[in-house]
Amino acid sequence: MKIGIYPGTFDPITHGHTDIITRSLRVFDKVMVAVAPNPTKHPLFNLAERLDMVQLVLKDIGQVEVVTFDGLLVDHVRRSGAHAIIRGLRAISDFEHEFQMALINRKLAKQVETVFLMPSEEYSYLSSTIIKDVANHGGSLTEFLHPEVARRLQARIRSVKP
């Protein structure tokens, strides 16, 4: 069984993330979605909230397991028995950072491969950061997020606004 790990902060999970996950199942028998704490990004939602939203959005997709991890991703990949790290590339601007991460991961664990997938065109511009900005300015989120995730994001934005 070929297992891929799709790591991310998922603050919050978007339709773009879901697109990469479902398309990854064409390549892998199982996809582990690994929700990272990543305090350096200062997430709007805590780890438990993000984990809950990811599980909610992916509950009906077979062959997907949602987990959390701390520490080096390559260590988690090895411990889980996965074969590759899955990363999405939306634009050329993503490539440099993702390329560097793939190279350092290869240096740390030669047996761990990175697989890059481009999102479907309708999601190529999506990022959690942009979606939070749209929400912060009262924009509609229906095209970008699961309805419950949109509700939670709007509620969180209202609760943190001065």
Strand order in the sheet with 64-68: 64-68, 30-35, 3-8, 84-88, 113-117
Catalytic residue flag (residue 90): yes
* Nearest CA among 19, 13, 22 for reference residue 4: 22
Residue tagged active-site, from 24, 30, 87, 128: 128
Of the candidates 23, 78, 90, 156, the residue annotated as catalytic is 90
Strand partners, 67: 34
End-to-end C-alpha distance for the chain, whole angstroms: 50
| Catalytic residue check, 41 | yes
15 is catalytic: no
| Catalytic residue flag (residue 2) | no
Chain position carrying tokens 């990811």: 54
User: Which residue in the list 15, 17, 76, 83 is annotated as catalytic?
Assistant: 17
Distance CA 93, CA 154 (A): 28
Pair 16, 127: CB distance under 8 Å: yes
Q: Facing residues of 156 across strands? A: none
* Catalytic positions: 17, 41, 90, 128
